[in-house]
A and B are shown apart, each in its own frame.
Chain A
Amino acid sequence: MTGVQAKVLLIEDEPNISEALTFVLARDGHDVRTHSDGLTALDAIKDYGPDIIVLDVMLPNRSGFDILADLRASDFAPQTPVLMLTARGQKKDRDMAIDAGASRFMTKPFANDDVRQAINALLRQTGNHA
């Protein structure tokens, strides 16, 4: 175990990516829950109350940017750190993510270790863990 144990919500519609990340983060001692639909993502956040969210940009039914904007404006988890995952790494995509309130931004294809380190760094920054 290398990081801080926390509740991680992984919102990602690619099942094999979810499975691999879940395996890696669970092995680090995190409690990982997954969700794949953009439309009900906010409900999932509200239900689970994660310490950190890993959020894909391209989701079915709703974009990750829109979900993040609503989350930041919400009254239930506006400060939750969010690591955004996207297939597009252009500056304007980074700017959009930061404008929407992302805590970190990561471009696919990523290395598992980069995701782990980013999550642990965000948890340490916020002290937002179990």
Chain B
Amino acid sequence: MPASALTGTRIREHRLAQKMRQADLARDAGISASYLNLIEHNRRRIAGKVLADIARVLGVEASSLAEGAERSVIEAIQTAAAEAPGFDASAASAEDVASRYPDWARLIADQRARITQLEHSVNTLTDRLAHDPFLTDALHEVISSVTSIRSSSSILSSDEPIEPDWQKRFQQNIFNDSRRLAESAQSLASYLEGTSGETANAGTPLEDCFGALQAAEYHFSALESPDANAETVAAIVGQAALSSDAARAILRSNLERYLSLAQSMPMAAFADVSSVLADPVSYARHIGQPLANVLQRLSYLPQEVVGQPIGLVQCDAAGALVARKPIKGFDVPRIGSACSLWPVYASWSRMGMPIKSLIQQDGQGRPALIAYTATTEVIPASFERACVYEAVMLVRYAQSGEVQSTPQLVGATCRVCAISDCPARREPSVLGSLRSSAPDDGL
């Protein structure tokens, strides 16, 4: 209900309480009776002089007529003024601003609310960095390893003589600490990019939604039932530990998509998942479904049905990740852009043509992966607007017989990628340059 509606009702209430006729109030306030009638029935906005005149005739404060939503605007302006360092509010009171410039006042109130929300997000992220136990432990581990390496190596490199036994001992310490440093740095990088199970509560609605999906291991048995419907989705959303309406809206959208896929491809249709994973294109053709739908549906099946971990990412045409299901050995960035060498991005230049790739993510001991990529039409084209597409990429571990060539080396995101000569690098890595990218031999 707009603010003026409350004001009009309140004027009418005051007038009737004083047994005053509408025509009398209108005359004394210098307006027509028909105009006052519109105001009282909340069909005209009222502010400034007219509001002040009516308030004078009724013998009340103008601000008391503006209680309700307008009051909240006034309070928001007062708070904004109080919080602005050095701002001199003596020129005009918040009531004056709200009554003379109601639209500007509402804009100030809305922007203050937005600033408050952003400050909350910043504080959440700062708090996460400062108090996240995993981050604290990981950083302590890194710094301890570096300290030990520095201390031991400076002993070895000094000019003072050192006995062979001590020399050997410190060399061994450096070796052990170097290995420990590599592991803790990799663990830290993985955590920052969002693959650790110890995910802290997120700062954005999208992250919040991803957290809820991860907590459910990307499977909702209630949605697999033939009786599942929108109420089932609403019940799951209602029970999810989400901190904002925006996160709930994103989760609802994801689950509605899940329900649609589950209804068109019931779990029973995946009796032989290993065959589907070996050739999803043939299977999609066989059941008459778009490949992208089959890939998405596979990612929602429980691991006991699939028999192996399945990862999935989905991006919009701008490259933003709108769905993410990482698996061990394939990191998906929590924030920011992913590696542009991922086959999912190549699909934009091969619309309608599925891609099968052999890839391996940069990092020690990472497995070779098979990636299937397809584009899908999210919103069909019309005369009014162009089609909206998304691209889907499923990843699974490559079987030994499938690694016939050198996998294409990819990263997670540039910031934590150590590929030294990557032509697609956007920014320097914090890890330094350690490895060269392998040629793309394809399959």
Most chain B CB within a 10 A radius of its CB, from A17, A110, A111, A112 = A17
Instruction: Decide: A17 and B154 in contact? CB cutoff 8 A.
Output: no
Instruction: Decide: A16 and B177 in contact? CB cutoff 8 A.
Output: yes
Instruction: Decide: A20 and B152 in contact? CB cutoff 8 A.
Output: yes
Binds A, one of B120-128, B136-144, B415-423: B136-144
B79 within 8 A of A: no
Contact for A23 among B139, B147, B166, B176, CB less than 8 A: B166
Instruction: Decide: A20 and B155 in contact? CB cutoff 8 A.
Output: yes
Instruction: Decide: B144 and A20 in contact? CB cutoff 8 A.
Output: no
Cα distance, A38 to B149, chains bound together (Å):
23
Cα distance, A34 to B150, chains bound together (Å):
19
With known contacts A20-B155, A87-B143, A111–B150 Cβ distance under 8 A = yes
Q: Which residues between 145 and 188 of chain B lie within 8 Å of chain A, taking CB atoms?
A: 146-152, 154-155, 160, 166, 169-170, 173, 176-177
Instruction: Decide: A20 and B166 in contact? CB cutoff 8 A.
Output: no
Secondary structure at chain B's binding surface: helix, strand, loop or mixed?
A: helix
With known contacts A20-B152, A111-B150, A111-B154, A14–B144 Cβ distance under 8 A = yes
Cα distance, A24 to B177, chains bound together (Å):
18
Instruction: Decide: A24 and B155 in contact? CB cutoff 8 A.
Output: yes
A11 to nearest B CB, angstroms?
A: 14
A109 within 8 A of B: yes
With known contacts A24-B155, A27-B160, A16–B140 Cβ distance under 8 A = no
B194 to nearest A CB, angstroms?
A: 24
Residue of B nearest to A24 (CB): B155
With known contacts A16-B177, A87-B139, A23–B146 Cβ distance under 8 A = no
A55 to nearest B CB, angstroms?
A: 15
- In the assembled complex, which residues on chain B have CB atoms less than 8 Å from the CB atom of A21? 151
Interface size of A by Cβ–Cβ distance < 8 Å? 17
Instruction: Decide: A20 and B170 in contact? CB cutoff 8 A.
Output: yes
Cα distance, A99 to B140, chains bound together (Å):
23
Residue of A nearest to B153 (CB): A20
Residue of B nearest to A27 (CB): B160
With known contacts A87-B139, A87-B143, A16–B155 Cβ distance under 8 A = no
Instruction: Decide: A112 and B155 in contact? CB cutoff 8 A.
Output: yes
Residue of B nearest to A56 (CB): B144
Cα distance, A27 to B170, chains bound together (Å):
15
Cα distance, A100 to B170, chains bound together (Å):
34
- In the assembled complex, which residues on chain A have CB atoms less than 8 Å from the CB atom of B166? 23
- In the assembled complex, which residues on chain B have CB atoms less than 8 Å from the CB atom of A108? 143-144, 146-147
Instruction: Decide: A17 and B143 in contact? CB cutoff 8 A.
Output: no
B353 to nearest A CB, angstroms?
A: 52
With known contacts A87-B140, A112-B155, A20–B160 Cβ distance under 8 A = no
Type the 1/0 row for A73-92, where 1 means its CB is closer than 8 Å to any CB of B: 00000000000000100000
- In the assembled complex, which residues on chain A have CB atoms less than 8 Å from the CB atom of B176? 16
Residue of A nearest to B139 (CB): A87
Residue of B nearest to A20 (CB): B151
B162 to nearest A CB, angstroms?
A: 9
Instruction: Decide: A23 and B144 in contact? CB cutoff 8 A.
Output: no
A66 within 8 A of B: no
- In the assembled complex, which residues on chain A have CB atoms less than 8 Å from the CB atom of B173? 16, 19-20
Instruction: Decide: A110 and B140 in contact? CB cutoff 8 A.
Output: no
Cα distance, A113 to B151, chains bound together (Å):
9
- In the assembled complex, which residues on chain B have CB atoms less than 8 Å from the CB atom of A14? 144, 147-148
- In the assembled complex, which residues on chain A have CB atoms less than 8 Å from the CB atom of B146? 108-109
Cα distance, A21 to B173, chains bound together (Å):
13
Cα distance, A14 to B151, chains bound together (Å):
12
Chosen A-B contacts, 8 in total, with CB atoms closer than 8 Å, are A14-B148, A16-B148, A17-B144, A17-B151, A19-B170, A87-B139, A109-B147, A111-B150
